[in-house]
Structure 1
């Protein structure tokens, strides 16, 4: 994988139907006033993005990526909120040196409020999966299956901070980055992450929850069927379970009932379309499974807090 330093200030791009994107594409999805940055000089094992963020009130939908994502605050401070589709907001107060670790397979929502000025700066670092696999083999974990990480929000870790700062310095500040040095730093980081933040199970969830491969199959099916009526029987069949056992295990895995999670996915898709397209509210409602504009508006207002038109155009309180 080539090292990539990206600086961008274009609006967020529409989220595709795929659950994951490549690390190189992430800069197209996040609003940023990033400073100009030099281009990389040599292929490496990581992808690096720099962003300068201002406060955003409306949540943005962040796609999942194939690689584990590390985010570290370089300057400023902020209150960052995150949630899975249909879930509760989780708040973190972050400052210089704090980091996030994400390896989710699903898109999620974020919003933030700067507290140390008008903006704060962060770096995103994506490690090539081969580095994680090599670290796992070195630590004798090859037989344990694919490595998954626990999610960390606003954590502090001296090793993570040191290695990220060294990688940023080599890739950004050096006129001729050393492939060997970047590889060594990235490998050291991968080993530390596997040692310290490896999830006990593939999804980091309890063993009596829905198995990881079944959960992925069900979530894929949910995303494919947003325009169709919710069918517990169809989802349970995909998981090869009775409806009762499927509902119980799904809630243990996600914290939400299947129907509530499905509504959350519908609302996340509707919010994305309202903000990123000029399609009518009725058309958007149809795409996420509501044949009645009034029913769509009612559910949207209950879940989001405002009507679809007011969400698209702040200040408008009534559907047009």
Structure 2
């Protein structure tokens, strides 16, 4: 896994690290808060900073002095080898996504079957983008990053965010290729059978796409065409259905059922189950005739 200098630098300042996870691709997510801090960042990687709460008194050093403009749902994009200085004068909560040129190139090759000599990203400060806001609020917030059952959600989010950066904030700005129709019935059946057989594992979008011999982008869109659900939504639906069936029809301990359905925390499993069915797993088992 790469070492991200922006992450290490923040650890030596006043910033408080609330959560961090390294995805299987090597991309890292980190949730921070900060107050009354001065930071200069210069890194050999890219950093996407997503403001979650506050940030109104976050100042960026420009050629014309210190300028603010932060707030919830603003974002900053700090490309590789850019230097930026920040004066955090009041509360700020934010999520960072760290990635490298290799991650961008991998996305480019998978989606467009193209790889430029170099990717350069635009530097952005206190910007707004509804798509970025929707992606991180839907996928990243309110989700336990360390639950293996959520790895598909996190890998999907990182792919979508990097795809959006390439489209709108890079030197190439390629248009997304069109995708028409769903998966062929035989391919869809192979994918669904594979999902059913691997519900206990931390599935990634790349795993599912490989079963159809497609890029993650094409697979996700064709799967939605076929099933009416995004892959991560379908997988969670199947995990919940399997859990309900085992709770009703077996005497397996609830912890074992949670593990068999891809959850490595009984409490997270219980909370997710209750959100879907309105009762906890223990309540359902107690209600059996």
TM-score by length of 1: 0.46
Match of 1:285 in 2: none
- 2:112 aligns with 139
CA distance in 2, matches of 1:51, 1:140: 35
d(CA) in 2 for partners of 1:40 and 1:49? 7
Paired residue secondary structure (1:135): helix
Which of the numbers 103, 125, 136 marks the counterpart of 2:97?
A: 125
Output the CA distance in 2 between the equivalents of 1:172 and 1:67.
25
1-structure distance, mates of 2:87, 2:64: 13
In structure 1, the partner of 2:169 is: 197
* Aligned residue in 2 for 1:25: 8
- Secondary structure, aligned partner of 1:150: coil
Find the residue that maps to 1:180 and give its secondary structure.
Answer: helix
CA distance in 1, matches of 2:114, 2:14: 38
Contact 1:73/1:98 (CA < 8 Å) preserved in 2? yes
The residue number in structure 2 matching 1:154 is: 126
Change (3 A) 1:169 1:177: farther
Does 1:79 pair with 2:57? yes
1:69 Cα deviation from its structure 2 partner: 0.5
Secondary structure of 1:162's counterpart equals helix
Corresponding residue pairs, total: 172
Residue correspondence of structure 1 range 287-306 to structure 2 within 5 A: none
Q: 2:153 aligns with which of 168, 172, 181?
A: 181
Please tell me the root mean square deviation across aligned C-alpha atoms, in Å.
3.2
* CA distance 1:184–1:42, shift in 2 (3 Å): closer
* Deviation, structure 1 residue 149: 0.8
Aligned to 2:39: 60
In 2, distance between residues paired with 1:162 and 1:54? 26
Task: Give me the whole-angstrom Cα distance separating, in 2, the residues matched to 1:23 and 1:33.
Answer: 14
Per-residue deviation at 1:198?
0.6
Unaligned runs of 5+ in 2: 174-289
Which residue is equivalent to 1:100?
76
Structure 1 segments, 4+ long, off by >6 Å, are none
Shift of 1:128: 4.3
CA gap of 1:169–1:128, structure 2 versus 1, over 3 A, is: farther
How far apart are 1:191 and its partner, in Å? 1.0
Do structure 1's residue 50 and structure 2's residue 22 form an aligned pair?
no
TM-score, with length taken from structure 2: 0.50
Over 3 Å counting, the alpha-carbon distance change for 1:140 and 1:175 in structure 2 is: closer
Kept in 2: contact 1:45–1:182 (CA 8 A): no
The structural deviation recorded for 1:99 is 0.5
